[in-house]
Structure 1
């Protein structure tokens, strides 16, 4: 009996530019074609591999030994070109080096530390929810999502009071820089100098208030848990992980619920569902849409052999709407869905270090709003905010009806 050779798998190819204005504005039709094309797809525009189905994206995020981050979480390959800034010790590093700094951050942004912030964060959440309901109409981005995190998070880090307006431009810069050399990236880098100067200065020991997360990072360096030169880079990582994604998370959650007012009815009836509503909104309208990895070896994924040193684009937003995993209603928002397995925060050793803070902030402000407003609806067309990595809005006009 003669053995038969395994069939040769031809990797499907798509011509689309996932960083085009059209797809960044509304990626979902492209995501469907990406998933239907196959588990691994070639994107001819950049000559790279991509994955959009949940199983492959999830497995790749967890397999840090094969799909490494140390050569860059963006399109740029740090083995072949100089990074635009010193690489992140968390997002752009691999074990064992990553393990040391991640353990330090896990100890600082711990469940106990986050619980200690709850009371202060809650007071401000209640105040801003009260103001929004009294107004009746407001912009979910400019009046709430960009206001609440920038009140509570910088204080928790211990940042200087002046210059905090640089935090959002810095986040936009960092996430745009993961993309290709397009207009978004060039525009972000063109205005980067002043923002980066403030960020660098604010990460130094003398700029940080005692007791905050930033001072605790420097204390870890004093104990010998970190090298002194690593401390400011870890403070910088906290600023990248803790502001922009939370702003997008709040705005996208309110956009999701205002677009599906029946789901707000469910939340208003039981505000304790706020945590679940946030997870479902993260799945349905993922703030972080993509991240790159680089293969450390030749690897077979679902029959496609990806060579060593290949850039692979993982579509988190697509995986979070894959009907193969979430069911045929994957495109429907349902806050009672068990959505906690989504990959919006990443997965594995590189899962977002600022996730506990983001969850606390969104839970508090969403609960406070849900208790006070029996209804939320859009009053105009939301305006997208284009970014090479993030999906969100620069304006989401809404109306709420007081309970």
Structure 2
């Protein structure tokens, strides 16, 4: 395993009064083990300047939460990645949800919030739970599995595309597309460039599937298009909102479930607590999202000169938020390095915070809960049975492979 070393000399004082760090949060060393760097950045100050990419960064919970909840000062419409849409052409049409500000964002977000409302989650819950039971029955019968391919990816792909109303053909493009989107938020490194170079078939598939005629009646996608008929959105906006569903409804879920499996397999005491009380499944998933933070970073751009954490930041500056660092900030969390399925996780920023909280969070939470509940009821033990391999992505933190041994109850 590569362990990045953060020496005191990596932090020096900048003329702007912000400490300066030479670390690269988009390097393989960071992806493998970001926590030492997170700690160094948190302790360096409330705001740090990253010399490698010429951006300001916040790693403490208070500042991350403040940036997320002040969209008037820290905007999303200039891109939530390193690229500044005021100066660069986006690689794809910007998201009407993730890369938009009020009032435009307010209108389109309201549509997706109704499509993915708590009431809708209640309607689909039984079907999702039955599919979770089937998935767990299969992996328990096999005994040895890959927790990523056989569960974290397989289960969401067994329920979510059907819920959206996608055709069966071409679904293998969904996960590569989501990975592409989140790699593209990073700098022009090899990960981003390679993802975009390979993106043509994935983009073509998604664009085609987002059209009204491609979607099964009654699914999430058709419900989005129905809001065209009521005049709430336009014909041009509907496919872009369906596109937001396809990334928001899969990436967080896949990496969140993978994180939960990895945590439960590593911390047998917490696994036993879950077995004793499967009602803790929702919180076990939520705590895994806090603990591992599947979405590690997002950018904002300042709309005006602002002082943050005592540091003056000018207009048009990129600010990188370390969500994963905030979720383990000891200023906010007691024993943050401990995975505790009884922890009160309210307030974590694993799904973001404020008006841009992950639009697919209710789907992710539903899938995580029913899957972990089924696992707790049907399995006696879950242990790591081989080498674990990370999947590198400029924004997401997850695993490529997680060998597991599962014994039936």
- With structure 1 as the length reference, what TM-score do the two structures score? 0.97
Counterpart of 1:5 in structure 2 is none
Distance in 2 between residues matched to 1:119 and 1:276, nearest whole Å = 19
Residues 379-398 of structure 1 deviation map (CA, whole Å, 9 limit, x = unaligned): 11210000000000010111
Counterpart of 2:62 in structure 1 is 55
- 1:265 lines up with 2:272 in the alignment: yes
Counterpart of 1:373 in structure 2 is 379
Q: 2:100 aligns with which of 77, 81, 93?
A: 93
Counterpart of 1:392 in structure 2 is 398
- 1:402 lines up with 2:401 in the alignment: no
Counterpart of 1:79 in structure 2 is 86
Following superposition, the deviation at residue 262 of structure 1 comes to 1.3
Counterpart of 2:370 in structure 1 is 364
Counterpart of 1:107 in structure 2 is 114
> Aligned to 1:146, what secondary structure does the other structure show?
helix
Following superposition, the deviation at residue 180 of structure 1 comes to 0.3
Counterpart of 2:359 in structure 1 is 353
> Aligned to 2:386, what secondary structure does the other structure show?
coil
Q: How does 1:3-402 map to 2 (within 5 A)?
A: 10-327=17-334, 329-402=335-408
Residues 41-65 of structure 1 deviation map (CA, whole Å, 9 limit, x = unaligned): 0001111100000011011101111
Deviation beyond 6 Å, 4+ runs, structure 1: none
Distance in 2 between residues matched to 1:66 and 1:384, nearest whole Å = 35
Residues 269-295 of structure 1 deviation map (CA, whole Å, 9 limit, x = unaligned): 111100111111011101000000000
Contact map agreement 1:40 1:50 (CA 8 A) in 2: yes
Distance in 1 between residues matched to 2:30 and 2:374, nearest whole Å = 34
Contact map agreement 1:125 1:368 (CA 8 A) in 2: yes
> Aligned to 1:325, what secondary structure does the other structure show?
coil
Following superposition, the deviation at residue 9 of structure 1 comes to 7.5
Contact map agreement 1:39 1:52 (CA 8 A) in 2: yes
Distance in 2 between residues matched to 1:109 and 1:402, nearest whole Å = 34
Q: Give RMSD over aligned pairs.
A: 0.9
Contact map agreement 1:291 1:313 (CA 8 A) in 2: yes
Structure 1: gaps of 5 or more residues: 1-7
Distance in 2 between residues matched to 1:12 and 1:82, nearest whole Å = 31
Distance in 2 between residues matched to 1:226 and 1:10, nearest whole Å = 45
> Aligned to 1:305, what secondary structure does the other structure show?
strand
Structure 2: gaps of 5 or more residues: 1-14
Following superposition, the deviation at residue 341 of structure 1 comes to 1.4
Distance in 2 between residues matched to 1:9 and 1:257, nearest whole Å = 44
Contact map agreement 1:268 1:371 (CA 8 A) in 2: yes
> Aligned to 2:240, what secondary structure does the other structure show?
helix
Count residues in correspondence. 395
Distance in 2 between residues matched to 1:173 and 1:47, nearest whole Å = 23
> Aligned to 2:299, what secondary structure does the other structure show?
strand
Distance in 2 between residues matched to 1:80 and 1:41, nearest whole Å = 23
Following superposition, the deviation at residue 126 of structure 1 comes to 0.4
Contact map agreement 1:9 1:303 (CA 8 A) in 2: no
Distance in 2 between residues matched to 1:273 and 1:307, nearest whole Å = 45
> Aligned to 1:376, what secondary structure does the other structure show?
strand
